[in-house]
Amino acid sequence: MTESSNPVSDHPLTSGDDRSGVAIQARKRRTFAVISHPDAGKSTLTEALALHAHVISEAGAVHGKSGRKSTVSDWMEMEKARGISVSSTALQFNYRSSGDNAAATDCVINLVDTPGHADFSEDTYRVLTAVDCAVMLIDAAKGLEPQTLKLFQVCKHRGIPIITVINKWDRPGRSVLELLDEISERIGMMPTPLYVPVGISGDFKGIMRRGEGGEPEEYIKFTRTAGGATIAPESLHSPSEAAELEDDDWVTAVEESQLLSAMGQDHNTDSFLAGETSPVLFASAMLNFGVRQILDTLVELAPPPGPRAAVDGKPRTINDPFSAVVFKVQAGMDTAHRDRIAFMRIVSGEFERGMVVTHAQTGRPFTTKYAQTMFGRDRSTVESAYPGDVVGLVNATALAPGHTLFTDKPVEYPPIPSFAPEHFAVLRAASSSKYKQFRKAIDQLDSEGVVQVLRNDIRGDASPVLAAVGPMQFEVVTARMTTEFSVETQFDRLPYTLARRTDMESAAELSRQRGVEVFTRTDGVMLALVSDKWRLQFIQKEHPTLTLEPLVATAD
C-alpha cells in the first residue's frame, strides 16, 4: 500500500496550498457508492461499515432462520419483506481512521447504498453521478456477474475510480488467482490486492498485508462473534508468528502475494485514480471480517471531492460559490408525514441551512430551511455542509433528479438522462372514487423517477402508461400506491418491447401502423412504442423518413 503520513491532507487530488475552510472540509469527505450484482452482500456490507464506524452498536442482520432484522439501509416494507434493496439510501457518518499507513484521521463518510437488482439500474445510475469513488462488491463463489459488469461500465464511462472487495470469503468459492484473473480479463482493469486472504474460501482465518515485492508485512487474524452482530476482534502478528500460527495457509498466502508482484499487480495510486487498476480487498461482511480495512482504504486512497464540469464544459471548483446537483427524489420515508426528500450532492462552496439559492432550471429562488442529513430512514437537521456531502431537502416539490441549485455565480450541471424502457403497462385505480389520490400519486412517483409516465389523448389521464427498465418497478409502484396513498390499483401489461424517440411530424403516420402507439412523456419527449424489433425494421424500411431514434441507454 502507498505510504502516506496523512491521507486527508496529502491526497494527490487535493491542493496542498489551498487552506480555505471549504477546501479543508472537502478533503475530509469520502463520498462513494457500493455497486454489485443482487445477493453479493451489498446491504450487509453497508451495515458492517456503519458498525465499524461505531455509529450503530449491532449489525441489523441477525443471521439465522428466525429473528432476522432488516438492515438500516433497507427501510421500505418491500425491501424488508424480500431482503433486497430497491431504492438507493444515503448514510452519513464520521469515521476516525487508524489505517496501517496513516496517523489517526477524522473523515466524514457519505455512503450511498444502491439497488443491486437490474430492474433498478436507473436509480443506481443516478447515484453514480453523485459519488467520487465506487466499491465494487464481488461474490467469492460467483465472480463477476452481468449487473456488476454493467455498473462497472458506467463507472468507467464517468471516470469513477473503483475499489474491489471480494466478499463472502467465509463460504466455499473460487481461488484468489482465479478471481483476479477473471477481473483482469473481463473488465480490462488490473486488480492490485492490498491484502491476500489466509485460508481458502470457506476457511477464512485472516488477511496478510502486502509489502514491497509482495513480501508479508503483517498478519491480521480475525475471531468470530455470535451471529456476526458485533465487530470481529482482530489480533496482529508478525510474519514469523503468522508462519507458526497458520503453517501451510500462511505459506500459500505469501507465495500468491509474491506471484502477484512478479506479474506487476502491486498498487499504484496514479494508476488507480486513472482507472487503470483497482485495489482489491477480501472480506466477509456477514462475519465483519476485513471491514475495518475497507474503511481505512477508502480514507487513504479514495479521492476527495474535486471540480465538476458544467453544461458549458467549464469546471466548477470546490472553492466556487455554493452549488449542488439533485440526484434523487424520494417520498414515503416518513409515513407519518408523507414528505418528499430531494437528495443533493454538494459540488462547491459551503451550504448553510436557510440560505436562499437559485433553482437553475426555473431561475426561481429556493429556500433551504428544511435541510437534513440521513442515516437510512433516520434523519437530523443539518446546519452546514461541504463539497461531497449529501443533504436532503424536505418537501422540495420543484426539484427533480438532474436539477441544479446555486448561489452567486450561475451554473447548471448536465441533466441525468433516462434509461431506455423495455416494459410497459397501463395503470388504473381499482375504484373511481380514488381518482384524485391516484392522480396525485402518479405525479409524485413520476417526479421521483420511480417510473416514466406516458400519456396520449386516446387513453387519457385515468389510464396512464408506465414505462420501466424492469418489471419489478411496477411492483414498487403498486406497493407504494397502497401504503402511501391508500389507493388500490391494477395494471395490464402492454405488448410493446421497444421505445423510440419520435416527433409530431411522424406521429400521425406511426399511429396508423400496426403494433405501434405514440405517447408523450412528462418531460415533453414523444415516444413511439413498438411491439418488437422486427416490426420496427419493417416500418423503417417502408417509411424511411419517419423519425424513430433510439433512446440513449446511459448504462452503456
Strand 105-113 vs strand 29-36: parallel, antiparallel, or unpaired?
parallel
User: Please, are residues 531 and 515 in contact by the beta-carbon 8 Å criterion?
Assistant: yes
**Neighbour count for residue 509 (Cβ, 10 Å):** 15
Is residue 117 part of an annotated ligand binding site? yes
User: Please, are residues 371 and 346 in contact by the beta-carbon 8 Å criterion?
Assistant: no
Which secondary structure element, helix H or strand E, spans residue 485, and what is its range? Answer: helix 472-485
Cα separation, 185 vs 179, in Å, equals 10
**Neighbour count for residue 541 (Cβ, 10 Å):** 8
3-state class percentages of the chain: helix first, strand second, coil last, to nearest 5: 30, 30, 45
- The distance from CA 450 to its chain's CA centroid, rounded to whole angstroms, is 15
Cα separation, 376 vs 69, in Å, equals 14
Is residue 116 part of an annotated ligand binding site? yes
Expressed in angstroms, the distance from the first to the final Cα of the chain is 32
Cα separation, 489 vs 476, in Å, equals 12
> Which DSSP state fits 281?
E
Is residue 114 part of an annotated ligand binding site? yes
Could you tell me which residues are beta bridge partners of residue 465? 426, 454
Q: Which phi and psi angles does 139 have, rounded to 5°?
A: -75, 125
The closest alpha carbon to 337, from 394, 285, 382, belongs to: 394
The residue count for the chain: 556
How far is the CA of 7 from the CAs of 27, 36, 332, in angstroms?
A: 9, 27, 39
All 3 cell numbers of residue 320?
466556487
The closest alpha carbon to 209, from 386, 41, 1, belongs to: 1
Strand 351-352 vs strand 384-385: parallel, antiparallel, or unpaired?
antiparallel
Cα separation, 152 vs 462, in Å, equals 40
Cα separation, 526 vs 501, in Å, equals 6
Is residue 113 part of an annotated ligand binding site? yes
> Which DSSP state fits 233?
P
Instruction: Sort 260 into a burial class: Cβ within 10 Å, 0-12 / 13-18 / 19+.
Output: buried
Is residue 54 part of an annotated ligand binding site? no
Q: What is the largest CA-CA distance in the chain?
A: 80
> Which DSSP state fits 289?
B
Residues 6+ apart with CB under 8 A from 188: none
Which secondary structure element, helix H or strand E, spans residue 437, and what is its range? Answer: helix 435-448
Cα separation, 399 vs 123, in Å, equals 16
List the binding residues: 113-117
List the binding residues for GTP: 113-117
